[in-house]
Each structure stands twice: as structure tokens, then as C-alpha cells.
Amino acid sequence: MPISSEEANRILDNVNRVVDAIKPHLAGHPSEVQCVALADLLSIWLAGHSPKSRESLLATHIQNVRELITVNEMIMFGPDGHPDSSNGVTRQ
């Protein structure tokens, strides 16, 4: 069932508040520490769901992550994308 734009905005506001609260706890730590911390949080989230639904939830999560990479890369590095990208913004 589709949600209203008002409800979508409320959800996005909540998402932004949670992300803004978590970012400072990850900032400044090495990539490998951030990676394992995020993996632990993801596994906690998945463990709270039925084992039957976990694969589907994980697939949807990875799809969401892939879609957000380009947006966040542009926010971080501008329209030219990551400095290691030879052709501008990376497409995942």
C-alpha cells in the first residue's frame, strides 16, 4: 500500500535524525572498525526478524545501499565523484 508524501517526509525526517546521531560515533574510526560496527548493527536488525524473511530483507537492504552510494559520493566529492574514479561519479 503506497504511503502519502506527508508520511514519506516523516519517515525521512526520522531517518535523517537517526543517521545524524550515528555519524559522529563512526567518524574518525578506521574503515575496518566502521565496517564491522555497521555489520554488527545490521545483524542485530536481521536477528530481530523471522529467519524466513532475512534473505529478502538483506537483499532489499543491499539494493538500498547501492542506490545511496551515488548520492552520497556526489555529496562527499561533488559532481566529479570519488577521486579514484576515472569517469566521474561511480555507478553501482
Q: What is the pLDDT along the chain (92 residues), one digit of tens a residue?
A: 789 999 999 999 999 999 999 999 999 999 999 999 999 999 999 999 999 999 999 999 999 999 999 999 999 999 888 999 865 555 55
Of 37, 16, 14, 17, nearest in space to 27 by CA: 37
Q: Do the Cβ atoms of 83 and 90 come closer than 8 Å?
A: no
d(CA 10, CA 17): 11
For the chain, the maximum distance between any two Cα atoms, rounded to a whole number of angstroms, is: 42
Residue extents of the structural domains in the chain = 1-48, 51-92
Q: Do the Cβ atoms of 81 and 74 come closer than 8 Å?
A: yes
